Amino acid sequence: MLSAESKKKIDREVAKYPADWKQSAVMAALRIAQDEKGWLAPETIEFVADYLGMEAIAVYEVATFYNMYNLEPVGKYKLTLCTNLPCALSGANDVAAYLKEKLGIGFNETTPDGKITLKEGECFGSCGYAPVFLINNRKMCGSLTFAEVDRILAELE
């Protein structure tokens, strides 16, 4: 169900924890599974549960508790914009409005071509670089201006 490469990555995470605590790797395993599949379908969650010897419901609890997991399909690029107070003081709400207008979508929506999903996030712990957004949970872009947003969007293929 997951690729050999993903399974290898999960094994590397499992090795970090005591032998009888394989489930400590569940957060990492879900992250790795999501990186491969784009989102966590029920069968992906079940696969992770089997792989780590956990109950599927326990894995599902984790997947629904932490908000960076995608429980439904997202676009090729998920843009999560922080709008918390320090970012808001530095113009995050203007950037949000600009993104919504430019992409023609609101938060929690995906462009019709399936390319970009826009999300609102909570503090990324990067307020000195505000406003910030995160692309696919990985790449952080900071000090966003409208011109910078244009540049970044143009680079997304």
Partner 1 sequence: MEQILLKGLDGGNWRLADYLKRDGYAALKKMFADKMTPEQVIDELKKSALRGRGGAGFPTGLKWSFMPKNYEGDKYLVCNSDEGEPGTFKDRDILYHNPHQLIEGMIIAAYAMGIKAGYNYIHGEIFEVYERFEEALEEARAAGFLGDNILGTDFSFQLHSHMGYGAYICGEETALLESIEGKKGQPRFKPPFPASFGLYGKPTTINNTETFASVPWIILNGGEKYLELGRPNNGGTKIFSVSGHVERPGNYEVPLGTPFAKLLEMAGGMRGGHKLKACIPGGSSMPVLTGDVMMDLDMDYDSIAKAGSYLGSGAVIIMDETVCMVKALQRLSYFYYEESCGQCTPCREGTGWLYRVVDRIENGMGRNEDLDLLLNMTDNIQGRTICALGDAAAMPVRSFVRNFRDEFQYHIDHKHCLVSS
Taking the least distance from each CB to partner 1, the nearer of 35 and 150 is: 35
Taking the least distance from each CB to partner 1, the nearer of 3 and 67 is: 67
Taking the least distance from each CB to partner 1, the nearer of 18 and 104 is: 18
Q: Closest distance between partner 1 and the C-beta of residue 44, in Å?
A: 15
Start-end of H helices in 38-91: 42-52, 56-65, 85-89
The type of residue at 136 is N
Start-end of H helices in 53-145: 56-65, 85-89, 92-103
Residues that bind partner 1 (CB under 8 A): 16-18, 21, 23-28, 30-31, 52, 54, 58, 61-62, 65-69, 83-86, 88-90, 121-130, 134, 137-140
Instruction: Select from 144, 148, 143 the least CA-distant residue to 128.
Output: 143
